[in-house]
Each structure stands twice: as C-alpha cells, then as structure tokens.
Chain A
C-alpha cells in the first residue's frame, strides 16, 4: 500500500538520530509504519529499509521474528487473552471460550466487520491480576465474562476511543529531547576517547 507519509518520515529521521547506528532504529520504525497502516505493508517495510540503509529482505527478516508485527490486516482492535500458567489457573480457558463465542471467531480470527481480532498470548506481566487481557496493548485485569461483554460494547459504541487507540498505535507520548539538551550521539568509531568525567579523574564531577 503506502510508504511512510512525510510527517512519519520526518519522525523516523528524528528517531534514527537517537542511535549510534541507524539500523538500531529498525524496530521502532517498523512500529511507526504499523501505526500508519494498522499492519506492515510491503511498501512501508521497503521504505523503512531504505531509511536505515539495509535491504528489504533484511528488514523483513527482522520484522518476521517479532509477533507484534502483522503482515496482513487485523481487526481495528486486537484482543490478546493471556493463557499462560497464572491466568490458566484462574479461568483463562473459560475467558477465551467466552470471547470466542461472543465475537463469533476462533482465536486467530477476525470478525467480519473488521473490528476485532482475537488472539491467545503468553504471559503479559499481570500475573497477580488473572485472568487478564489486553486490547491494542491496553490492559484489562481480573476479567469476567461480563466484563468482557461490557468492554466489547464500550468499544463498539466508541466510548473508550480515547483510551484504546486503533491497532498499530502504541505509545502516544514520545521522547522529545529539548534543543541543546542532548549530550550527543556518535558512532562507536567516533567515541574512542574516555568520557569527560572519567578523563578528569578528579574527586567528583565538578
């Protein structure tokens, strides 16, 4: 479909400037591409590869390793239900069965209206709040079947659009270093000297 928009390309360049080597920005840039289109299009992957200076195959090679990257359209809301041990002990399987029946799709499937994709996932680090799920990586804890139905209704009504953005959008607060505050990023080859406060060798950083 699409390459990165001009705005996103500008942001991509700002992200790359934070790393000593541009390829280190690859995963953040793939997230940026996914936030633009909801999934990773071939065109966007190619564009990202171009920006960081690698081949499209290398970029795809990295992208396919990580399960958050989707190569086909998924629902606007990605519902991830944890089925690992702590959640399983407290009813995760029942929650998956309920979610599956309520949405009318099996895990892995997307509703016909393109609203929801249901996935079972591994531990999300909310083990004391089992069973848990996340919608577009926004957590819901100690979820009952009723909670699930309420959540789906709230999403369908648009009531919680503010809280849960469309799939692809991850963090909405970004690191922005104020003008003149940056210590300065250099490549490993350019940074062979001891840092100033080490070279001084004095008591304290003065």
Chain B
C-alpha cells in the first residue's frame, strides 16, 4: 500500500489495517486524476464488464450480494431486477446528497476517487441498458462537484464515457447535476422530483420503487455513491472474491464514520459483518476508546435516524440483521459516540431540531409533529418543562410512528428490544426518524428528563418590578 506518493490527503480518513475495496487510492495526492486511477487498476472492471453480456454483469452484482450503502441496505442486484422489461428509456440517478447527521463517506468518495464512482455508474448503465446517468451531488459540496466535473471531462476525453465507450457499441452520457440544500432530497423519489426541477418532496407510494416509475415517469435506478463505488472492484475481481470479505449475508466492506467523544474519530473502511461496535469504538485499529478516559453513555449506530445503543450493545457485529433485531439500524455507516458528560435532553433536542428543520411539510404528522417535538424538548431544555411533557412527547411520537417504536433492550429496566423498522403515518421515513432520539432517550434516561422538568432552581427568578 505504501507506494510512492502515498500520503494522507483525505482529512478524516484513517487508513487502518484491513481490506481496501473503495478507499485504496485515498492516500495518493492525485487519487482523483485519471492517470492515477488507470495506474492502480482503474477502468479494468468496466473493460471486464464490456466483455460480458449485460445480463451476466447484472448476475455478478447479484451474486456479490452488494447491499445498498445509502441507509436501507437493500441488495443492489435485486433492486436492479425490478426494472420492467422493455419499457425504455431507463435512467440511473446517483444519490450523492449525503446529509444524514453523523454521516461522512460519500463526500470523501466523490472528492478522492471520482473515477471509481464514474466507473461504477458506467457498469450499472451497461448491465441494465440505462440510457443516461445523472450524478446528483449535494449542493454544498463544491469540491466534490469540481472533482467530478474534472474527472468526467477526463473520462469523456479518454473514451470511457459518452459515445462508443472503449470502441464498443455501448454509449451513455454521464451528467453531473447538483442540489441546493435540502436533506429530504436524499429520499429517492424526492431526489427525482428535484432532478425534474421541482421542490424536493417525496412522492406518494406505491409504486414503492422508482425502478417502476421514476424520472419522467420512466423506470429509474437510484443508487448511493458508495454502492456504485464498489462495482469496479466487483467486476475486476469477481463476486466470489468480494464475498470472501465480510460475512455471508453482508459481504465486502463498508465505510464507517466514527464521530463524537472518541480518541481517534475518523472514517474507516471496515470489513462488513465481522467487526463489532466494541472494536470500532475501542480497537487500536479504529477509534481507540473514549476521549479523556471517560465512560461511554450511548452511541448512535447508523446516523441521526437510528435508535440509540448503549454500552451493553457494544458486542453486536456491524451487520444489518443483528443490528435490526436489536432495535436499530446500520443506516448510513455513521456512529456517533457520546460520553457520560453528554446531556441526553440536549442531544435529543439537537437531532429533533434537525428533522423539524428538514421536514418538507408534505405529510401532516411529520410537519406538525416534528415541530411539536422540537418545541417541547426546547422548553424542557430551557427549564420550562411541564410534568405532562414526557407523555406528550410520546403521544406526538405515536402519531408519527404508531405502536411500539424500535428500541434497544434494557435489562436493568426490564425492557425488551423492539426490532427495526418503525411503522409510519408518513410517505417517507423522515418523520419517524425524528422519533428515534426521543424514544431512545426517554426509555433510558427518563430520570434526566424528570430532573430537568422538576428542578426549578435552574430557572432564573426575577423579582416583579
């Protein structure tokens, strides 16, 4: 790995030991340039794919059991299979709108290795007969937009994109497009609305998958940046080689961002399924323990939308199924670590405020509910909470996500785990996501809420004048 020119040029990325499927080039200063990409095996996967029939490429991706890396963890090969035969044109929309709290990986992939992503887009287009690819990058990510634009220009010039790619009859345009600041656009039907020039509001379901009705009403595949970034490696090395990494149901690697109160926060490429949270948070190869030798209070395993875990859940593996059964999700590979000094009410407020700000306003339970949750939490945090507020928070939560909400087990309080996912009264999962921090903290830290509500001495008293 330590070849010439290998230095750290990706702030946040930590090149730990372990297989490198998507971050292998991150250390090179020129990792984003075509010359480096070609010198390190780049576009080999595309050439391998072009030598196969499109259906055989799709089969490789199916066999690799490549799970979507955007949050839902749905197998990409299966999602691809939902395209209705013969209803051309089909489109590819790349979801580069990374903005889930705690998540930091797609921006790195776009800035540090744009050709790897473009190669993945081309392989998907070839395999499925997609007529055009739209690479939608979050609006705020100016450097990612510049790097992808430059890489596309190089790829077109070199014959890897556009007309008659690599001299074959495979032709497809890959177009860089970008947003303007809206978390909800990460939801795939909202992303399509945005790409059609509309407000980024999720579409009513069914149809559940844009593969049936997507961009311009046509069948559309929406894939995450990290998902697509795996395709070049899979085609170059084969599905069998891919499945040798990770676990049986979750092969390969995943990028995890570990942030918050840890000694070595960073973005790590982690072997899927076999590593545990304990290794990720405390291991020498990863985050190296809690900052200032404090105690761990809680951690969020998969981005702001995920229900919280606590110290007794550290030995769960980084694998979708067991984490789901334990009451949360791996989501977008974002682990947020909170030490014993963290105020549970403040942390919950911070996350709920985010969802309230980002609610698109289409569904009443989310639009009204997230705002209510924020206001109630705010008054509790300000020392103006009412004794009935805890029940009110749970009641509003139940309007957004009815029934038992996914949560981790808590033996000390005699509470069993409630498996993921939550139910919802909304079109998309944004509203139910706002419930995660509320229910997680009330279940575990109810006494902190009660103390904030009853401890009147926190309120500055002014004499009437």
Contact = CB atoms under 8 A, between A and B. Distances in A.
Given A129-B11, A195-B129, A31 B350 contact: no
A84 B142 contact: no
A85 interface: yes
Contact of A182 (B162, B181, B218, B358): B162
B107 A125 contact: yes
Nearest to B100: A123
Interface stretch (B147-155, B378-386, B410-418): B147-155
Question: Which of B131, B147, B183: most chain A Cβ within 10 A?
Answer: B131
A191 B101 CA distance: 39
Given A86-B259, A125-B107, A191 B89 contact: yes
Contacts of B196: 21, 23-24
A10 interface: no
State which size class the interface on A falls in: 35 or more
B259 A127 contact: yes
Contact of A177 (B100, B162, B180): B162
Contact of A206 (B126, B169, B347): B169
A197 B139 contact: no
Interface in A78-114: 80, 83-86, 88-90
Given A24-B196, A61-B199, A188 B260 contact: no
B104 A127 contact: yes
Contacts of A126: 11-12, 104, 107
Given A126-B104, A128-B104, A27 B259 contact: no
A137 interface: yes
Q: Which of A19, A84, A123 has the most CB of B within 10 A?
A: A123
A45 to B, nearest CB: 13
Contacts of B177: 18-19, 24, 27-28
Contacts of B149: 171, 173-175
A20 B92 CA distance: 13
A205 interface: yes
B53 interface: yes
Nearest to A82: B101
Contact of B197 (A25, A80, A182, A193): A25
Contact of B171 (A134, A137, A196): A196
A41 B134 CA distance: 28
Nearest to B338: A89
A204 interface: yes
Interface residues of B, number: 91
Interface in B194-230: 194-201, 216-218
Given A170-B145, A197-B126, A202 B53 contact: yes
Contacts, number: 255
Contact of A83 (B182, B267, B350): B350
B162 A181 contact: yes
A123 B178 contact: no
A28 B145 CA distance: 12
Given A66-B200, A206-B168, A181 B146 contact: no
Contact of B173 (A124, A141, A172, A184): A184
A54 interface: yes
A68 B179 CA distance: 9
B312 to A, nearest CB: 21
A183 B141 contact: no
Contacts of B126: 197, 205
A181 to B, nearest CB: 4
B197 A23 contact: yes
B269 interface: no
Contacts of B199: 61-62, 65
A16 B295 CA distance: 55
A89 B141 contact: no
A64 to B, nearest CB: 8
Given A61-B199, A173-B146, 5 more contacts: A66-B139, A89-B336, A176-B153, A181-B163, A197-B169
Interface of A: 18-21, 23-28, 30-31, 52, 54, 61-63, 65-69, 80, 83-86, 88-90, 122-130, 134, 136-139, 141, 170-178, 180-186, 188, 191-198, 200-206
14 contacts: A18-B177, A25-B197, A28-B178, A84-B304, A86-B101, A90-B261, A125-B107, A126-B107, A175-B149, A177-B156, A181-B157, A203-B53, A204-B52, A206-B169
